[in-house]
Chains A and B, each alone.
Chain A
Amino acid sequence: MLGPLLRGASGVSLAPPTPEDHRLYRAWAAQPEITYFWGPRGGNWTDTDLEERYKKLASDPNGVQWTIQVDGRSVGLTGIDGIDWIRRQGESYILVGDLAVQRRGVASEAVRLRTDFAFRELNLHRVYNWIVLDNIGSRRANEKAGYVQQGIAPNGFRRGVRLHDEWLGELLRESWERRAKG
């Protein structure tokens, strides 16, 4: 499903992705600087395939996807995938594709908005993720929102000549509630 508009601080918002937003990923995925810590770069990126994938995302009842916007401009994507409605949990992800807005707190605000939505509106019990340990920006953005380490898979991710550890994070509803109450 497509996530609703969530307005945050400093001009950051999460918005339901349009087909045009979805096509931006093709350009982001092609750049090794952007996807160094991300998943596969290959894939079928024809217009037809993207259109089909967009339809699937929009109709997937077990996932929520947003476009990250800064002052109305689409700069990345985030969401929660593989939601199990009995266990009430899902796996979160984020990619800031526009290098010009990196290191400005955009990811932190996007993760905060997404996390609040997960507990406040989706009524989830737990959100978890796998982040490459050396992806400090993404890890810190999640830690700021309350995610804590559940473990580390040593040398679980390869890029080029390097093996990187993977950080497994999780945030339980009760921890989020405690933080929300201050």
Chain B
Amino acid sequence: MRGKRVTLRMTTETDLADHLRWHADPALTAWMPERPGPQSLDQRKEWLTDVGKDEMRTHFEIAEGETHVGYCAFALERPRIAGDWSIATLFLAPAARGRGLGTDAVLALHRFAIDYHGLRRAYAWLYRDDVAGRRLLAALGYVEYAHGHDVFYREGRYWDDWRGYLEVSEFRQRFPDEREYPERGPG
């Protein structure tokens, strides 16, 4: 999946060393609702095998040119309504933060889910104090639907959450040019 500045690509075993380095530092994963912890290389290889088999989840690595700068994933929601999905995770390496690469990656992720898979409503779950994450989602058109109290725990205290959703019609209206495929007729 090509963004304007980043590419979303499949995970290879060579990416796993980056995952291990990133996940070893709790300061880098502090705002992740599903927070990964330190792992051994064998554990991470097992994770990769499991991810490859998981039909409900699609995981991408984020690359800026040849540089591996993070990862993201989307997941199909439990079978409440076919077509619902969620941003399952988003991680950017410190050097890639604050440069708009996250927005670029997430736009590509939405294009894949919406244009390739034909999915409709997207859900997202964040720390309520995740200012950068909420700004990114607001720009995409997400709206809040729930505020949970004392949902996360780290650094000796509880933190509230933010839940939002995005209708595909809103995404289309805001980003009419975010198309994975050009419209074409027969031939």
A-side residues, CB < 8 A to B, are 39-40, 86-89, 125-126, 128, 150-158, 163, 166, 168, 170, 172
Can you show 20 pairs from A to B with CB atoms below 8 A apart?
Answer: A40-B79, A86-B153, A87-B151, A87-B152, A87-B158, A89-B151, A125-B158, A128-B148, A150-B146, A150-B148, A151-B163, A153-B123, A153-B145, A153-B165, A155-B81, A156-B84, A157-B80, A158-B81, A168-B146, A172-B149
Give the contacts of B11-44 with A (CB-CB under 8 A): none
Name the CB-closest residue of A to B77: A156
Count of A-B residue pairs with CB < 8 Å: 53
A157 to B121, CA, bound (A): 12
Q: Contacts A39-B78, A156-B80 given; indicate if A170 touches B153 (C-beta within 8 A).
A: no
Contact at B146–A125, with CB atoms within 8 Å? no
A171 to B152, CA, bound (A): 14
Count of B interface residues, CB-CB < 8 Å: 19
A4 to B1, CA, bound (A): 51
Contact at A88–B153, with CB atoms within 8 Å? yes
Q: Contacts A39-B78, A87-B152 given; indicate if A150 touches B158 (C-beta within 8 A).
A: no
A89 to B159, CA, bound (A): 13
Does B147 have its Cβ within 8 Å of any Cβ on chain A? Answer: yes
A153 to B121, CA, bound (A): 11
A172 to B146, CA, bound (A): 16
Top 3 closest pairs, chain A to chain B, by CB: A151-B146, A87-B153, A150-B148
Least CB distance from A138 to B in Å reads 16
Q: List B contacts of A40 (CB < 8 A).
A: 79
| Choice from B78, B80, B123, B149 contacting A150 with Cβ under 8 Å | B149
Name the CB-closest residue of B to A88: B153
A161 to B111, CA, bound (A): 29
A9 to B184, CA, bound (A): 67
Q: List A contacts of B123 (CB < 8 A).
A: 153
Q: Contacts A168-B146, A168-B148 given; indicate if A157 touches B81 (C-beta within 8 A).
A: yes
Contact at B79–A153, with CB atoms within 8 Å? no
Name the CB-closest residue of B to A153: B145
A88 to B152, CA, bound (A): 9
A140 to B181, CA, bound (A): 48
A154 to B81, CA, bound (A): 12
